[in-house]
Amino acid sequence: MGSNGNKDSISNDTIGKVITCKAAVAYGLGQPLVVEDIRVDPPQKMELRIRVLFTSICHTDLTYWRGQDEAQRIYPRIFGHEASG
Ligand SMILES: [Zn+2]
């Protein structure tokens, strides 16, 4: 919730804090994604935190989920980067 009480407003309440948010997590090759709460550290230098309400799964996500290349088989992995490009 924002500092003015409007949950849709931009808030400074999380600056420098660990937050909890939902993520679609893959725990293994081709396994169903698990939507769960994860903890996210505050942004470090040259990083920023954005609020993503909805996102999609793209071809790159699917490639990693299928693990076609052995180097891609690193789990757990969070999908849904499309909101940031
Ligand atoms: Zn993508």
> Which residue do the tokens 């891609």 mark?
72
* pLDDT at residue number 10: 58
> Global pTM?
0.73
What are the structure tokens assigned to 1, written together? 């919730």
* Residue, of 2 and 38, whose pLDDT is higher: 38
Pick from 41, 38, 3, 42: nearest CA to 24: 38
pLDDT in tens, 10-48: 567 888 999 999 999 999 999 999 999 999 999 999 998
CA 16 / ligand 1 centre spacing (Å): 28
Question: Would you say residue 1 lies in a domain?
Answer: no
pLDDT, position 1: 42
C-alpha 11 to ligand 1 mean position (Å): 27
In angstroms, the CA 79 to CA 33 distance is 9
Residue 2 maps to a domain: no
Please give the residue range of the domain that contains residue 45.
25-84
Beta-carbon neighbours within 5 Å of ion ligand 1? 58, 60
Look at residue 33 and tell me if it is in a domain: yes
pLDDT, position 11: 67
Residue type, 5: G
The reply to whether 62 falls in a domain is yes
Q: Do the Cβ atoms of 33 and 66 come closer than 8 Å?
A: no
Question: Residue 14 C-alpha to ligand 1 middle, in angstroms?
Answer: 27
Task: Report the number of distinct structural domains present in the chain.
Answer: 1
Residue 75 lies in a domain: yes
